[in-house]
Amino acid sequence: MRTTEVGRTSDRRGRILGSARARVLIGALALLAGTIAVSIVVDRALLLAQLDERIDANLAQEVAEFEQLAQGIDPDRGEPFGSDVAAIFDTFFARNIPDTDEVFLGLVDGRPYLRSPDAPYPVEDVGPLVASWGSAREPAYGNAPTPGGDVRYLVVPVVVTGGEREGTFVVARFPAAERAEVDDAVRAAATVGLVAFLVAAAAAWAIAGRVLAPLRDLAHAADAVREDNLSERIPVEGRGELAELTQTFNAMLDRVEGAFATQRSFLDDAGHELRTPITVIRGHLELAAPDEPLGESTREVVFDELDRMTRIVEDLLLIAKAERPDFVVPGPVDVADLTHEIVAKASPLVAREWEVRAEAVVVAQLDRERITQAWMNLVRNAVQHTTDGQRITVFSVVVDEHLELGVRDQGEGVSAEDRERIFDRFGRGASARRTRSDGAGLGLAIATAIAAAHGGRVDLRDTPGGGATFVLCLPVTAVETPTPNPVIDERTEEDLPWPAS
């Protein structure tokens, strides 16, 4: 049991440390900690440098006062000091009191002569250091270790013209206490930096959690997505990359939901429409005697229903493919030639009065195969709702930067209650439901899908004099105007395209 709990704790710790929130926080805090550490080190170095400058300035000031005295008058004799180095030291040491942690030392002929009282440490006892001071021939700053601590000093030779003895003046300072103050200040700054670091860590953890909340929502939404629950969406808040990611994820869910809806619709529609021909085939086969060959009429019915099933499946597959990006492959299409080609394909099929009007003399970027299929579906729809001798008009025209490819018939038209339903899959108008048709009610749905893939739509417009007008309304993305053939246009004004309703 303990091993299991330890394993769970380790897994939980690993998930926390491996999360984006923890990685972002660790990176930010590492940068902040490095910045604070560097700033503390630099601040300490600057403070110590300033301390050294102050000490050097103080040493130089003491030496300047000593030199000024050496050039003055001996108060005991009322005359210049001359060559009396000892008198200079006696007078200076009697008049000047060194600062705390500071000491004066006078050397005559390289030997200690006089030291200021209350010195932090008797520097005259440090033989090697005193020897180096006594041999100095020019002013010099220096640092030296002593049993009393490190010392910073300025040594100045005292040379008196005509004097028999040489002197050396040394002013030294023990900076340990001042450096301790610097270290205290640095420690205080480090404490403040640590507190600021902890506060920043807590704030960064909270901010990172808030900023990365959409990512958690994405994970929860993705986990909640099931085949029976595709409606989960994430609210888009604010702007920036996470908002764009949320929008992209929601758009992906929309596409997934649409794909599942298309799949379910395909299965439902296929099951519904294929049930009828299967039932017809089954009924005829059950009525046939098992030991006798199928009669001609039965064979015709079976093959007719099988052909109908094949057309239904092919149409359903076509509609299902309409969501794919490669569903249409546009290329240059001469619309006038295509208009006449549609009529040439349709006119031999049934006895109707076929007419071409206002063919658009343009070359448009279209998928010729798909547009031909959609347009022929509109023609078949017109054929199914007209009788022999009635007129069917095929036309193409460019109106307001839109290409319109239409079919007009003189049939019974479309009732108001059927105008929306006929564009649905397997949707039929009242007249089609009264009579059995070879179609499955997918023609207009296919035409709508092809038009939508071109960025267009299918319009149903009122037709003067009765009938119906179906129009593929497509945006013209690229158009060229070919050179027209030198033919005489014998169309009258009433033959020109009618206004779009």
Q: Which of the four pLDDT bands, split at 50, 70 and 90, describes residue 492?
A: very low
Question: The sheet that has 363-366: what strands, in order across it?
Answer: 331-334, 363-366, 479-480
Average pLDDT (164-178) is 86
Q: What's the CA gap between 107 and 133, in Å, rounded?
A: 8
Task: Write down the pLDDT at residue 173.
Answer: 92
Task: Write down the pLDDT at residue 163.
Answer: 56
Average pLDDT (27-39) is 88
Q: Which of the four pLDDT bands, split at 50, 70 and 90, describes residue 220?
A: confident
> What fold is seen in the domain 331-495?
Heat Shock Protein 90 (3.30.565)
pLDDT of 500 strictly over 50? no
Q: What's the CA gap between 396 and 359, in Å, rounded?
A: 5
pLDDT of 489 strictly over 60? no
Higher-confidence position of 242 and 257 = 257
Higher-confidence position of 409 and 290 = 409
pLDDT of 241 strictly over 90? no
Task: Write down the pLDDT at residue 29.
Answer: 85
CATH class of the domain at 241-321: mainly alpha
Phi, psi of 143 (to 5 degrees): -125, 145
Query: Which residues touch 166 (CB under 8 Å, ≥6 apart)?
Result: 85, 108, 109, 110, 157, 158, 159, 160
Q: Which of the four pLDDT bands, split at 50, 70 and 90, describes residue 165?
A: low
The domain spans of the chain are 241-321, 331-495
Q: Where are the alpha helices (DSSP H) in 322-418?
A: 335-346, 368-384
Residue 480 CA: distances (Å) to CA of 136, 335, 477: 101, 11, 10
Phi, psi of 153 (to 5 degrees): -135, 165
Higher-confidence position of 11 and 349 = 349
| Among the ranges given (70-84, 134-148, 173-187, 368-382), the one the predictor scored with the smallest mean pLDDT | 70-84
Residue 131 CA: distances (Å) to CA of 93, 112, 125, 135: 21, 10, 11, 6
pLDDT tens, position by position, 357-390? 867 888 989 999 989 988 988 898 888 888 888 8
Q: What's the CA gap between 385 and 372, in Å, rounded?
A: 20
pLDDT of 413 strictly over 80? no
Average pLDDT (451-475) is 87
| Among the ranges given (243-247, 348-352, 485-489), the one the predictor scored with the smallest mean pLDDT | 485-489
Q: Which of the four pLDDT bands, split at 50, 70 and 90, describes residue 225?
A: low
CB 385 within 8 A of CB 412: yes
CB 82 within 8 A of CB 158: no
The type of residue at 332 is P
pLDDT tens, position by position, 62-94? 899 888 888 888 777 777 777 788 888 888 888
Output the pTM of the full model. Answer: 0.47
Q: What's the CA gap between 426 and 421, in Å, rounded?
A: 9
pLDDT of 487 strictly over 60? no
Q: Which of the four pLDDT bands, split at 50, 70 and 90, describes residue 191?
A: very high
Long-range contact pairs involving 225-229 (C-beta distance under 8 Å, separation at least 24): 225/253, 225/256, 227/260
Q: Which of the four pLDDT bands, split at 50, 70 and 90, describes residue 495?
A: very low
Query: What is the separation, in whole angstroms, between the first and last Cα of the chain?
Result: 78
Higher-confidence position of 384 and 495 = 384
Phi, psi of 191 (to 5 degrees): -65, -45
Instruction: Provide the angle, in degrees to the nearest 10, between the axes of the packed helices 176-211 and 213-224.
Output: 30
Which residues pair with residue 103 across a beta bridge?
Answer: 172
Q: What's the CA gap between 168 and 106, in Å, rounded?
A: 6
The owner of tokens 């808030």 is 210
101 Ramachandran zone, left/alpha/beta (phi>0; psi -120 to 50)? left
390 Ramachandran zone, left/alpha/beta (phi>0; psi -120 to 50)? beta
pLDDT tens, position by position, 284-314? 676 665 666 666 777 777 777 777 777 777 7
Q: Which of the four pLDDT bands, split at 50, 70 and 90, describes residue 462?
A: confident
pLDDT of 169 strictly over 60? yes
Average pLDDT (117-141) is 88
The owner of tokens 């709702």 is 385
Is the alpha carbon torsion for 370, 373, 376, 382 positive or negative?
negative
| Among the ranges given (118-122, 132-136, 322-326, 340-344), the one the predictor scored with the smallest mean pLDDT | 322-326
Question: In terms of C-beta density within 10 A (0-12 exposed, 13-18 middle, 19 or more buried), how is residue 392 classed?
Answer: buried
CA nearest to 119, candidates 174, 74, 160: 174
Task: Write down the pLDDT at residue 434.
Answer: 45
The type of residue at 283 is G
CB 370 within 8 A of CB 407: no
Average pLDDT (325-345) is 88
Is the alpha carbon torsion for 115, 120, 121, 123 positive or negative?
negative
